[in-house]
């Protein structure tokens, strides 16, 4: 009976997709079924990527103080919501519409006549891609946490999903100039196109808004401001790990046998990143830090995202492990440089995204330097990393400066001290009675680099 109950909804989904896509009705037999399966798989993958927003929200909330937890949840909810609208109005066309080598300019408001996604329908492809756009946007939230005006963050969320991120996407995934290099750049699921865009925007946001009150002493040395819930953070990491199986295998854009191998490289890299980060921070500080190990998982996943379909399993392990080492030293280095990033977003997504993209030029089984195919692929990867870094740093740097000088980017000191839940949203994220019995829950802190 249970099997029948499970089979019925699945058959209903197949029927609904078939009805909703009459253009593919001509594809009788195996070809028609494959089209339907491709669309269903990509929609499922899109849902997994969208659910990653919950993971980002929990990681950020866990690694920051309890007096700001409501604000953080609100930011993650609204950067997704605002991002969907911005990407639908402008971003999707700039990214995938017919145009030139630098941006698309035909197919506004999801006009189906201006796009061709093969077996995928326009709605399916849009939902999958808007999930990626929202991911790029939400990365910035953590780096600017606990001191940023909510209204400024809303404006930023719209601009990055409507303008900044889509232009970068067009350069490669939209058939633009990075896809037309003599040796085209490879970034299968977005180590640079998605994660480094968010990471470099986070860098400019953190620099522009400045450090949190009390983060650096009079001697300039960083002080830990621990987050209020490591369980939140690690549950968030697990959710992100699961969501990555939509992020990377979903980017195959088809329900075929390659999905399995992409999932395996993703799994190995994430696990290797966790182990490598744990060992590195253990040797460095004398303790196997929980938050840093969680960031190691994410670093390995970000690192493998570019090459998950181009490297073998041992290459994936090497990429993930190196990312796990890099993230530890990057977090500590940015802290010493007085760039206050409460969750390590710049290191995880920006730095490790760049590493993962470059790593394709080393570890790709076809075209990789370590496989005797020369440095052409590595050069193309470096060009893409440098171009995206320059474009995002300039555009988001200007954006944050404009916000700072107009509507204001940072909350006043008294509001920051009281907490953004009350001052920005008018209500605490936790019941005051709970906080009264939780001691230091409101103002407590997290591991180094968190």
Residue 437's φ and ψ, nearest 5 degrees, are -95, 5
Token pair belonging to 418: 């009281």
**Do 327 and 296 contact (CB within 8 A), yes or no?**
yes
Longest dimension (CA), the chain: 73
Closest CA to 126 of 160, 74, 161: 161
CA distance 65 to 113: 49
Measured distance CA(450)–CA(448) in Å, rounded: 6
pLDDT of residue 434: 61
What pLDDT is recorded for position 436?
Answer: 54
% of the chain at pLDDT higher than 90: 83
pLDDT at 217 over 50: yes
How many helices (DSSP H) and strands (DSSP E) are in the chain? Answer: 18, 0
**Please, are residues 171 and 112 in contact by the beta-carbon 8 Å criterion?**
no
Query: Which positions ≥6 away from 336 have C-beta within 8 Å?
Result: 222
d(CA 428, CA 212): 20
> Residues in the chain, how many?
450
pLDDT of residue 28: 61
Q: What is the pLDDT of residues 414-438, one digit of tens each?
A: 999 999 999 999 999 998 766 555 4
pLDDT-derived band of residue 30, with 50, 70 and 90 as boundaries?
A: confident
pLDDT (tens digit, 9 = 90+) per residue, 43-64?
A: 999 999 999 999 999 999 999 9
Q: Are 342 and 72 in contact (CB under 8 A)?
A: no
**390 three-class SS:** helix
Q: Output the six-digit token pair for 385.
A: 């990393």
216 in helix, strand or coil?
A: strand
DSSP secondary structure code for residue 211 in this structure: P
| Low-confidence winner among 18-22, 46-50, 64-68, 366-370 (lowest mean pLDDT) | 18-22
Return the minimum-mean-pLDDT range out of 26-35, 335-344, 392-401.
Answer: 26-35
* DSSP alpha helix (H) spans, 160-289: 165-172, 197-209, 230-250, 258-285
CA distance 153 to 166: 18
The DSSP line for 327-348 is HHHHHHHHHHTT---TT-HIII
Question: What helix, strand, coil percent values describe the chain, rounded to 5?
Answer: 70, 0, 30
Query: What is the mean pLDDT of the segment spanning 109-118?
Result: 76
Cβ atoms 204, 396 nearer than 8 A:
yes
In this structure, are residues 228 and 439 in contact, taking their beta carbons and an 8 Å threshold?
no
For helices 69-86 and 150-159, give the axis angle rounded to 10 degrees: 30
**Full-prediction pTM beyond 0.85?**
yes
Q: Which domains does the chain have, with CATH numbers?
A: 33-429 (1.10.3430.10)
Q: What is the pLDDT of residue 114?
A: 67
Tokens standing for residue 273: 């990143």
Phi and psi at residue 69, to the nearest 5°? -65, -40
pLDDT digit string, tens, across residues 132-156: 999 999 999 999 999 999 999 999 9
Decide: residue 279, CB within 10 A, 0-12 exposed, 13-18 middle, 19+ buried. middle
CA dist list (Å): 55 to 49, 172, 235: 10, 27, 7
Provide the CB-side half-sphere exposure for 55 (13 A, CA): 22
Give the residue among 258, 334, 270, 339 at the shortest CA–CA distance from 301: 270
Of 334, 294, 318, residue with least CA distance to 368: 318
What is the pLDDT averaged over residues 368-381? 96
């Amino acid at each position: 009976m249970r099997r029948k109950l499970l089979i019925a909804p699945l058959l209903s989904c197949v029927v609904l997709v078939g009805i909703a896509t009459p253009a593919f009705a001509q594809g009788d037999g195996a070809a028609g079924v494959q089209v339907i399966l491709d669309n269903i798989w990509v929609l499922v993958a899109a849902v997994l990527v969208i659910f990653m927003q919950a993971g980002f929200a929990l990681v950020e909330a866990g690694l920051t103080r309890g007096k700001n937890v409501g604000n953080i949840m609100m930011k993650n909810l609204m950067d997704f919501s605002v991002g969907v609208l911005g990407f639908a109005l402008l971003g999707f066309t700039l990214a995938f519409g017919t145009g030139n080598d630098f941006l698309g300019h035909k197919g506004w408001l999801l006009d189906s006549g201006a796009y061709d996604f093969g077996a995928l329908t326009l709605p399916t492809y849009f939902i999958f891609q808007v999930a990626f756009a929202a991911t790029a946007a939400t990365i910035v939230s953590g780096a600017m946490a606990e001191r940023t005006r909510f209204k400024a963050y809303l404006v930023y969320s719209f601009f990055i999903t409507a303008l900044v991120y889509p232009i970068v996407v067009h350069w490669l995934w939209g058939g633009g100039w990075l896809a037309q290099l003599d040796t085209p750049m490879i970034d299968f699921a977005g180590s640079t196109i998605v994660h480094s865009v968010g990471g470099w925007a986070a860098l400019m946001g953190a620099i522009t808004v400045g450090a949190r009150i009390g983060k650096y002493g009079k001697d300039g040395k960083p002080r830990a401001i621990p987050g209020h819930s490591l369980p939140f953070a690690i549950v968030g990491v697990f959710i992100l790990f699961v969501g990555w199986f939509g992020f990377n295998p979903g980017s195959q854009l088809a329900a075929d046998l390659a999905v399995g191998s992409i999932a395996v490289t993703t799994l190995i890299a994430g696990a290797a990143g966790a182990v490598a980060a744990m060992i590195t921070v253990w040797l460095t500080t004398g303790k196997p830090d929980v938050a840093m190990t969680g960031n190691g998982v994410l670093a390995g996943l970000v690192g493998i995202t570019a090459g998950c379909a181009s490297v073998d399993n041992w290459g994936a392990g090497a990429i993930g492990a190196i990312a796990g080492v890099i993230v530890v030293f990057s977090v500590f280095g940015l802290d010493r440089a007085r760039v206050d990033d409460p969750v390590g977003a710049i290191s995880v997504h920006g730095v490790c995204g760049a590493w993962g993209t470059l790593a394709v030029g080393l570890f790709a089984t076809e075209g990789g330097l370590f496989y005797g195919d020369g440095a052409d692929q590595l050069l193309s990867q470096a060009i893409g990393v440098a171009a995206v870094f320059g474009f995002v740093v300039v555009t988001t740097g200007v954006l944050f400066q404009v916000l700072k000088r107009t509507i204001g980017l940072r909350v006043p000191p008294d509001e920051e001290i009281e907490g953004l839940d009350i001052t920005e949203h008018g209500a605490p994220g936790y019941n005051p009675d709970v906080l009264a019995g939780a001691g230091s829950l409101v103002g407590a802190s997290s591991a180094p680099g968190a």
